[in-house]
Amino acid sequence: MTTVRHRRLAALAAAPLLLLSLAGPAHATRATAPGYVALGDSYAAGVAAGSYDPASGSCHRSSGAYPVLWAAANTPAAFTDVACGGADTQDVLTGQLPAVPGGTGLVTLTVGGNDLDFTDAVVGCLQPLTTESHCDDALAHSAQLLRDQLPGRLDGLLTAVGRGAPGARVVVTGYPHLLETTTTGVCWTGTAERRERFNALTDQLDELIHRQADAHGYRFADPRPAFAGHGVCAPAGQEWINGIVLHDLGESFHPTADGQSRGYLPTVARALAP
């Protein structure tokens, strides 16, 4: 009887503790996101978004870039930003990926445009006074690189990301349409046909990135819907992408601070959500 009585008393004493454990903590705390690493080119670095980190040098990493904005809002356990203007897939593979710490839980990657010599295509098609043949040659060259070289390069890089950050949630972004093809006013950036052809090349690039991301089990973040109506030649005040910037040509045809915060950030945030 004494033993039974002691067991009953012990059960009664444990009951409040059990109820507390079921109820959960009295003051819930916000969960901290796992360590986050941002990889990629000028679109990930935030070239043209301003407020560059002097320590980033020629990489021009901006405090207005989508990785920095996401990290500020979600307070990851650690944040490593090695995105750099001008980077291609090989630069990310050899110069950025080694900086990924062990145990990283989140990775974002924006790369591929420089592998296609997009800058040459911009110069050949969207600068004033360029000829049709020059534009044709530039777009054909980019299309050849996309068909013959980029698939292997991108596959190799994504495989390496998986080895460098095993178990991480990886988001690979595409690129927005840089240009509006229908305008209500005068647009001096290329012709309507050239703008359509340039956007078509972007579609081909995004489709390749999407396929590769899917093949590796990564998430694809497509910024084209968010940027629709906000490309170069959009109505005044609605452009989220710079046209030609004479005082700093490197910022030409890159997302502005609005493009990063209102275009890329919500797109990537949705893809990074659990």
DSSP string of 60-123? Answer: --BTTSHHHHHHHHH-BS-EEE---TT--HHHIIIIIGGGPPTT--EEEEE--TGGGTHHHHHH
67 and 108 in contact (C-beta within 8 Å)? yes
Q: What are phi and psi of 101, to 5 degrees?
A: -70, 155
Rounded distance between C-alpha atoms, residue 173 and residue 210, angstroms: 8
3-state helix, strand, coil in the chain (%, to 5): 50, 10, 35
What lies within 8 Å, CB to CB, of 172 at 6+ separation is 108, 109, 110, 158, 209, 212, 213, 218, 219, 220, 221
Catalytic choice (21, 42, 142, 177): 42
Name which of 31, 44, 35, 30 is nearest 79 in CA terms.
35
174 and 218 in contact (C-beta within 8 Å)? no
Catalytic choice (60, 177, 230, 254): 254
Q: Is 41 helix (H, G, I), strand (E, B) or coil?
A: coil
Strands 219-221 and 106-110: unpaired
Q: Report CA Rg, the chain.
A: 24
- For this structure, is 21 an active site residue? no
- For this structure, is 142 an active site residue? no
Tell me how long the chain is.
274
Active-site amino acid positions: 42, 254
